[in-house]
Structure formats: structure tokens, C-alpha cells
Amino acid sequence: MTRIKICGVTRPEDARDAALLGADAIGLNFHPASPRSVTAGHAVRIIEVLPLFVTSVGVFVDYPDPQALEDFAVSIGLDAVQLHGDESPDYCSMITRVKVLKALRVGEAFRVQDLARYRVSGFLLDAYSREARGGTGRTFDWSRAAGANAFGHIVVAGGLDHTNVCAAIGQLHPFGVDVSSGVESAPGEKSYDLMQRFVEAVHRADGS
């Protein structure tokens, strides 16, 4: 079964709906430049509504100190951190008390062999953009990620929605898929209908 992560959640009711619809994880963005950014206190209120076995993932970009990041994640109850900046393999290895999902942007310079440098719980592959670190609504050339599964659990992101997620799963057979803008009515505001359509599309892909 392909795991589903709904990212950029900003409202407790959206987190609750995502979980009830079948999401395996929700993403909370702590990057101040993101329109989906949340504070620690807000994140705690969202995490509190999650049922057992639904994972909370905090998204960070180039946080200065990995130990301080780990302390923060543990203090608010995050299960994992998604490192969406230029964090080095050594930086990632310093975080041990929560799982680490290293995000890599897939552009012309991307080489799937680069994943071998990291010792993390998984990789999130997103579209490359000069303007933003994720949440762009753009897909990437999935063929560039061929063979990525050999290096660990792969989560595919970047411009996914209910119309194209089946194709992404069929081509890459990832451990999971990640969606943000593809299930939104406005930045940070999730649509119940679009989340439902996305989850149903993933299940159809798994069934086929």
C-alpha cells in the first residue's frame, strides 16, 4: 500500500479530516517563508487531534543547529522531520530521536546516486524551483528518479493531485506520495473533497 502524506496542514479540522479519509501522515511547515507556515503552539493543537498511528512530520529548511531542531521536534511531539534545504549527510545523521526524511529537488543536476550519501529513514523527491522550497504545484520528470527505490523509502511530491498521482505511482512505485497544493482550496486550507479524491486515486493505483 502506498502511504499518503497530506502536507502544509494549518488547521486542526483539516488534519482530522485527512486522517479520517485515510492519510498516513500530515506535514506541518515551519519554514517562515512558506504561506503554510505554523507556529509551535499551533502545531501542537493540530497534532493533538491526530488519531493513533497517523504520523506528524515537521518541515524545516536549513535550520541552523540540528540538535536544537531535534529538541524542538521532540518538545512538540513530532514523529519525524522533513529536511527540505541543503542539509548535509552529516547534519542529517546528528538527528536520532525522530525519524529523518531528506527532501531532494529533482532538476537537471539531480543524480539518483546522491541518495547513497545519506543515512536517513527516507527521501522525499520534489520538483526543483529557484523560487521556493516545495509547495510549487509543479511536477518533475519522474524518469529522473528511476532506480531511487534502491536507496531507501521514496516519497514522491511535486504537483501531485487526483488526476496524476496514479501515473506517478505506476511509474515509480514509491513508498509514499506527498500532496499539498493539489488538495487545497487556498494556500494552507485543505479541501475535503480534493483530499478524498486524492486518497481514492491512490487506492485505485494500488488496486491496479
Q: Which pLDDT does position 138 carry in this prediction?
A: 82
Average of per-residue pLDDT across 104-128? 93
Q: pTM for this structure?
A: 0.94
The domain tally of the chain equals 1
Question: What span, in angstroms and rounded, lies between the C-alpha atoms of 51 and 24?
Answer: 10
pLDDT tens digits, one per residue of 69-82: 999 999 999 999 99
Which pLDDT value is given to residue 108? 86
Residue 7: active-site member:
yes
Helix ranges (H only) for the chain are: 12-21, 40-48, 66-76, 89-93, 165-172, 192-207
pLDDT tens, residue by residue, 30-89: 999 999 999 999 999 999 999 999 999 999 999 999 999 999 999 999 999 999 999 999
40-43: long-range pairs with CB below 8 Å, 24+: 40/72, 40/75, 40/76, 42/10, 43/76, 43/78
Catalytic residue among 92, 126, 178, 193: 126
Give strand pairing partners of 177: 4, 156
Instruction: Provide CB contacts within 8 A for 185, sequence distance 6+.
Output: 191, 194
Is 134's pLDDT higher than 80? no
Please give the pLDDT value at position 199. Answer: 98
Residue 43 is predicted with a pLDDT of: 98
Record the cell numbers describing residue 83, joined without a space: 529536511
Domain that holds residue 39: 3-207
Query: Are 165 and 198 contacting, i.e. CB atoms less than 8 angstroms apart?
Result: yes
Q: Which amino acid is at 9?
A: V
Identified catalytic residue from 7, 14, 17, 92: 7
Q: What is the CATH number of the domain that holds 125?
A: 3.20.20.70
State the Cα angle at 28 between 26 and 34, rounded to 5°. Answer: 130
Which residues of the chain form beta strands (DSSP E)? 3-6, 25-29, 55-60, 80-83, 99-106, 122-127, 154-156, 176-179, 184-186, 189-190
Specify whether 166 is catalytic.
Answer: no
